[in-house]
């Protein structure tokens, strides 16, 4: 049987977010049935070296085309069409975050089937509809997308398929003595963690204020993520005198930080792009750490069955009370909730299910 050649397009590997998902997908896909290749605009990003280790062909080409000036758009687009025709892939699977529709249009003109993964809840312009209608298939990674963007009458061929992760890599582990020693965590400390892309929509200030207002006597809050933005710099300045709030910066050994946590919190605001399917809380759940999250798309999917752990977005008081509840809870009860959360991840978001669902989709097109 002839192998299907699948091209995965993504702008770059500046961060390990979508890049890690693409890496996992290419690593796990059945090489007896598929030949994966990668298309990027540039080789920037620390994660690019990791991608190179996959040993699959990597193409560097500016596959996204500016629409304006409209008069010369067809000529610019034709360069991409020729590039696609030259390689003649069976299918292009795009992981571009934007609403660009030049890529699916070029694929259509080249006679190549095109799908894209809708990664966030942005839907603010007509370009998203053009991109979707030009696609052979759209993958929605949360149920809210199917309801809001791709209802039955939308004439868009979409399917709900959540992401997945390696539950062997993210599994329960002993608390890291290194982290405990480095940050002087005492046995009575209630440790809260959030691993997040630190931009305003993620609501970090809601979590910090909820911790400060709480009646919890001994606590530490770890905020793991890139802390070089102006948003985070302002927060660090605001809380510089509070030693309980710890900005760790971006970390590669996230599991070590997760291992010391009693609770994980994702406090995203209900505005802008919101969430697609945030993987950090799923990773925490896989490690049997209870997760608390705001009532926004994506997070609601992950916490289905654990509705008591959902708080209204931007409601500091509600989050504070929820944190107090978990701080007062016995360690055994917290562990039991964490165990049930891991069961959900293994059942619904396993790596095997993630790979097999994409393989089945490719073969159906």
Per-residue pLDDT, averaged over 28-43, amounts to 96
Looking at residue 273, its pLDDT comes to 64
The whole-number pLDDT of residue 124 equals 80
pLDDT of residue 16: 61
Quick check: 226 pLDDT over 90? no
Give 15's pLDDT tier (boundaries 50, 70, 90).
low
Q: For residue range 277-292, what is the model confidence (pLDDT) as tens digits?
A: 999 999 999 999 999 9
CB 190 within 8 A of CB 320: no
Residue 8 pLDDT > 70, yes or no?
yes
Task: Please report the sign of the dihedral spanned by the C-alpha atoms of residue 227, residue 229, residue 230, residue 232.
Answer: negative
The yes-or-no verdict on residue 247 having pLDDT over 90 is yes
Residues 135-154 have pLDDT tens digits of: 999 999 999 999 999 998 88
Which residues, 6+ apart, have CB-to-CB distance to 173 below 8 Å?
A: 255, 259, 287
Answer with the residue of higher pLDDT: 121 or 261.
261
Question: What is residue 305's predicted lDDT score, i.e. its pLDDT?
Answer: 96
Helix (H) or strand (E) holding 307: none
Q: 239 φ, ψ to 5°?
A: -110, 25
What does the H/E/C string look like for 283-303?
Answer: HHHHCCCCEEEECCCCHHHHC
Q: Which residues pair with 292 in a beta bridge?
A: 265
In this structure, the strands spanning 190-195 and 263-266 are parallel
Rounded to whole angstroms, how far apart are CA atoms 285 and 264? 9
Q: Is the peptide bond before 69 cis (omega within 30 degrees of 0)?
A: yes
pTM, two decimal places: 0.89
What integer pLDDT is reported at residue 184 of this predicted model? 96
Q: Please provide the DSSP assignment of 157-179 as one string.
A: -EEE----B-TTTS---PPPHHH
Q: Given the DSSP bridges, would you call strands 291-294 and 263-266 parallel, antiparallel or unpaired?
A: parallel
Using DSSP's 3-state secondary structure scheme, residue 311 falls into strand
Lowest pLDDT segment from 7-21, 67-81, 199-213: 7-21
Q: What is the CA radius of gyration of the chain?
A: 22
The predicted pLDDT at position 36 comes to 98
Domains and CATH numbers, the chain: 4-164+350-364 (3.40.50.2000), 177-348 (3.40.50.2000)
- pLDDT value of residue 272: 67
pLDDT confidence of 314, banded at 50, 70, 90? very high
Structure token digits, residue 270: 């209900």
Contacts (Cβ under 8 Å, ≥6 apart) of 333: none
pLDDT of residue 334: 97
């Amino acid at each position: 049987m002839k192998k299907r050649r699948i091209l995965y397009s993504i702008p770059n590997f500046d961060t390990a977010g979508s890049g890690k998902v693409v890496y996992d997908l290419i690593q796990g896909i059945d090489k007896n049935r598929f030949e994966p290749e990668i298309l990027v605009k540039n080789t920037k990003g620390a994660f690019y070296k990791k991608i190179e280790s996959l040993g699959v062909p990597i193409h560097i080409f500016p596959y996204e085309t500016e629409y304006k000036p409209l008069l010369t758009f067809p000529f610019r687009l034709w360069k991409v069409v020729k590039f696609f025709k030259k390689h003649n892939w069976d299918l292009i699977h795009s992981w571009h975050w934007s609403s660009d529709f030049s890529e699916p249009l070029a694929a259509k003109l080249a006679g190549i089937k095109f799908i894209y993964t809708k990664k966030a809840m942005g839907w603010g312009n007509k370009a998203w509809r053009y991109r979707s209608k030009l696609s052979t298939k759209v993958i929605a990674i949360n149920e809210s997308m199917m309801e809001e963007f791709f209802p039955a009458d939308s004439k868009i061929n979409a399917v709900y398929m959540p992401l997945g992760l390696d539950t062997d890599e993210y599994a329960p582990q002993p608390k890291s003595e290194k982290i405990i020693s480095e940050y002087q965590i005492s046995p009575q400390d209630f440790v809260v963690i959030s691993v997040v892309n630190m931009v305003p929509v993620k609501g970090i200030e809601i979590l910090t204020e909820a911790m400060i207002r709480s009646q919890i006597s001994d606590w530490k809050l770890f905020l793991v993520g890139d802390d070089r933005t102006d948003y985070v710099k302002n927060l660090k300045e605001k809380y510089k005198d509070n030693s309980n709030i710890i900005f760790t910066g971006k970390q590669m050994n996230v599991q070590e930080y997760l291992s010391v946590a009693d609770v994980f919190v994702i406090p995203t605001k209900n505005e802008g792009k919101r969430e697609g399917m945030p993987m950090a809380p799923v990773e925490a759940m896989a490690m049997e750490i209870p997760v608390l999250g705001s009532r926004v798309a994506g997070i609601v999917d992950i916490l289905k069955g654990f509705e008591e752990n959902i708080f209204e977005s931007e409601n500091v008081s509600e989050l504070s009370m929820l944190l107090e509840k978990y701080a007062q809870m016995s360690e055994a009860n917290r562990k039991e909730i964490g165990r049930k959360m891991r069961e959900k991840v293994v059942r619904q978001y396993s790596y095997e299910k993630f790979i097999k669902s994409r393989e089945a989709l490719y073969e159906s097109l």
